[in-house]
């Protein structure tokens, strides 16, 4: 398009994608919850919009989400890979999509965070959930 951003900061939760509608709904619901929580963040850490993007099997595809955000005036797009392990989607497909988008929209700042499974405290989250499960199961 060639038009510059309107300083919209966007977060994309990129997931594998599924033919199962419930899976797609869960990722969309996560985006909605994140949208509500980010309202309390400082300006530097705030996002104007949180949207899902999928790699296959369903819409919107990551490329479609990026295009939509660019049309809405995105100046910064942060991509959070909602993946547990570092497979080919994480190591190849997502970076290639972001590189391609960066060339198509050079006025937009793109960045990719660590994937869900790569966060150092993921084990704490897992243990917390296991404790909740065990404590509610035996009551």
Q: What local confidence, expressed as pLDDT, does residue 139 receive?
A: 56
Q: pLDDT-derived band of residue 4, with 50, 70 and 90 as boundaries?
A: low
10-24, 37-51, 89-103, range with the lowest pLDDT: 37-51
Buried b (16+ CB within 10 A) or exposed e, 77-88: bbbbbbbeeeee
Select which of 16, 115, 133, 138 is catalytic.
16
pLDDT tens track for 23-37: 999 999 999 999 999
Query: Domain ranges in the chain?
Result: 8-137
> In terms of pLDDT, which residue wins out, 45 or 78?
78
pLDDT tens track for 113-122: 999 999 999 9
Contacts of 16 (CB under 8 A, 6+ apart): 54, 55, 56, 57, 83, 89
Which CATH code is given to the segment(s) 8-137?
Answer: 3.40.50.1400
pLDDT exceeds 60 at position 128: yes
pLDDT tens track for 78-97: 999 999 999 999 999 999 99
Task: Give the span between the Cα atoms of 44 and 123, in whole angstroms.
Answer: 28
Nearest of 64, 60, 73, 54 to residue 9 by alpha carbon: 73
Q: Is 16 a catalytic residue?
A: yes
Q: pLDDT-derived band of residue 51, with 50, 70 and 90 as boundaries?
A: very high
């Amino acid at each position: 398009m060639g038009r510059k951003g309107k300083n919209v900061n966007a977060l994309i939760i990129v997931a594998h994608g599924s033919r199962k509608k419930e899976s797609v709904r869960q990722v969309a619901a996560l985006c909605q919850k994140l949208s509500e929580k980010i309202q309390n963040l400082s300006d530097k850490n705030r996002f104007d919009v949180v949207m899902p993007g999928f790699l296959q099997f369903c819409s919107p595809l990551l490329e479609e989400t990026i295009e939509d955000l660019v049309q809405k005036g995105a100046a910064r797009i942060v991509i959070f890979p909602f993946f547990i392990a570092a497979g080919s989607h994480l190591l190849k497909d997502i970076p290639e999509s972001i590189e391609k988008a960066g060339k198509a929209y050079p006025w937009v700042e793109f960045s990719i965070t660590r994937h869900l499974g790569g966060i150092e405290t993921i084990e704490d989250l897992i243990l917390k959930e296991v404790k909740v499960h065990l404590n509610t199961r035996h009551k």
